[in-house]
Amino acid sequence: MYFDLIVIGGGAAGFFAATTCAENSSKSVLILEKTSQLLQKVKISGGGRCNVTHDCFEPRDLSRCYPRGEKSLIGPFHRFGAADTVAWFADRGVALKTEADGRMFPETDRSQTIIDALLGAADAAGVEVRTSNAVTSIVTKESTFELGTDRGDHYRAANVLIATGGTRNAAGAHLPASLGHELLPATPSLFTFKIKDPRLVDLLGLSVTPANVSISQSKLSSRGPVLITHWGLSGPGILKISAWGARELAGRDYRFDISVNWLPDEDVAATITGKRSEEGKRQLASRSPFATIPKRLWLRLVAAAGIPDSTTWSQLSKKHATSLIHQLTASIFAVDGKATNKDEFVTCGGVARDEIDFKTMQSKLVPGLYFAGEVVDVDGITGGYNFQNAWTSGFHAGTDIAASQTRTDTHPG
């Protein structure tokens, strides 16, 4: 069976590329997905709401949110950025909304809305989709590609786009490598920190916004909400620093100390001084004097500073005040490993960027071979940026394939 384009991978990037090509040409397009379900990452992302993109419409600013790929993406974002994503979904009846932190979701708050839009657009454009069909081999023969699947099916194509997601899976890495591409090792990029510390016990779900996080003996730091989980610390402030430090932290075997400033925008010493003079008879344990610090966390930090429960503000010694300020602005936690949701797992690594033309997403080594999405060594911080990379790379690949001349004069049967 012959197609002008075969897309390997039924995820966000694959669907966007296939649909873009089919909508802008008469080329025959097939998506081959190894599992029985399509767009699984779209379905589970954002807690089932799908964080489609981010409210960042200046290409250079947008590109700065990618620890790997910043310079490569400036041009592509000029041609298809976040505003184009918003418009693309709006044209297909899906309105997006912007939340306070800049993340953009469908107004329905349902990832199924995005899935339906992608499936509907692909179907309307004539894209054929086959599931439970894993591509196991690709070879070039004359001016076409020959593909084999685990079901024993054989296909031929003028163009192939690989959009298999992160290359942590052997299958995802095998296909580009078999065609001569260098792959940078897959390394976890968005992960949370495993921490066992009495200050965090039984505070599951408690969040502080904003907080500053820095890693000891490193230049790595980030700012954002920090969430206490049953295994340690998470939230955007943690996920961002895990992305920027992906390879460095892997090299440290995910064992290091972090410092958390729970009150980066507060003059903590001045507040404590004011409380000692204004509320001298009130016990510190009665309530948190900081709006962003929940009482339960406040009590843990007071205890960690060695302050007895019954201490009043007027009884607070200089030594205890100094210790409390340290707990509030520079809490040290020992990280002992990482935690990830395997379904939402994001990696850095993949096909080397210098082997791809980012104007078209075509391989510089193999004519007619394209890449899109996480299979390339590009990854963003949390907040919708990885999906934006999927839409942008898929758009550029699909557009170039649609405009290209078919590399065979006749279609083999």
Domain ranges within the chain, ordered by starting residue: 2-188+347-403, 191-339
Element (H, E) at 194: strand 192-194
What residues of the chain score a pLDDT lower than 70?
167-172, 341-345, 406-413
Dihedral (Cα; 254, 294, 240, 15), 10-degree rounding? 110
Q: Are 231 and 194 in contact (CB under 8 A)?
A: yes
Q: Is the pTM of this model over 0.85?
A: yes
CATH number of 191-339: 2.40.30.10
Query: Which 3 state secondary structure label does DSSP give 149?
Result: strand
Task: Identify the burial level of 398 via C-beta atoms within 10 angstroms of its C-beta, where 0-12 means exposed, 13-18 middle and 19 or more buried.
Answer: buried
Distance CA 150, CA 130 (A): 13
pLDDT at 173: 78
CA distances from 337 to 191, 201, 231, 340 (A): 10, 17, 10, 10
Q: Residue 232 and residue 212: Cα distance in Å, rounded?
A: 16
Which residue's entry shows tokens 């969040």?
207
Q: Please give the CATH architecture assigned to the domain spanning 2-188+347-403.
A: 3-Layer(bba) Sandwich (3.50)
Between the alpha carbon of residue 284 and those of residues 275, 302, 315, the distances in Å are: 9, 8, 10
**Residues pairing with 214 in the sheet:** 221, 259
Per-residue model confidence as pLDDT tens digits over 144-166: 999 999 999 999 999 999 999 88
| Owner of token pair 């649609």 | 402
Q: Which pLDDT value is given to residue 169?
A: 61
| Half-sphere CA count of 380, side-chain side, radius 13 A | 21
Neighbour order of strands in the sheet with 53-54 = 53-54, 103-106, 96-98
Q: What's the half-sphere exposure (Cβ side, CA atoms, 13 Å) at 327?
A: 21
**Helix boundaries (H) for 125-222:** 170-178
What per-residue confidence (pLDDT) applies to 412? 44
Residue with tokens 């041009």: 75
- Nearest-5° Cα angle at 349, 59 to 183: 120
Beta strands in 198-337 (DSSP E): 207-215, 221-228, 232-234, 255-261, 331-336
> What radius of gyration do the chain's Cα atoms show?
25
pLDDT in tens, 288-338: 999 999 999 999 999 999 999 999 999 999 999 999 999 999 999 999 999
Residue 116 to residue 93: CA distance in whole angstroms:
10
Dist. CA 385–CA 16, nearest whole Å: 15
In whole angstroms, what is the distance from residue 59 CA to residue 133 CA? 37
Q: Scanning the structure block, which residue is given the tokens 């900081």?
A: 290
What pLDDT does 405 receive? 83
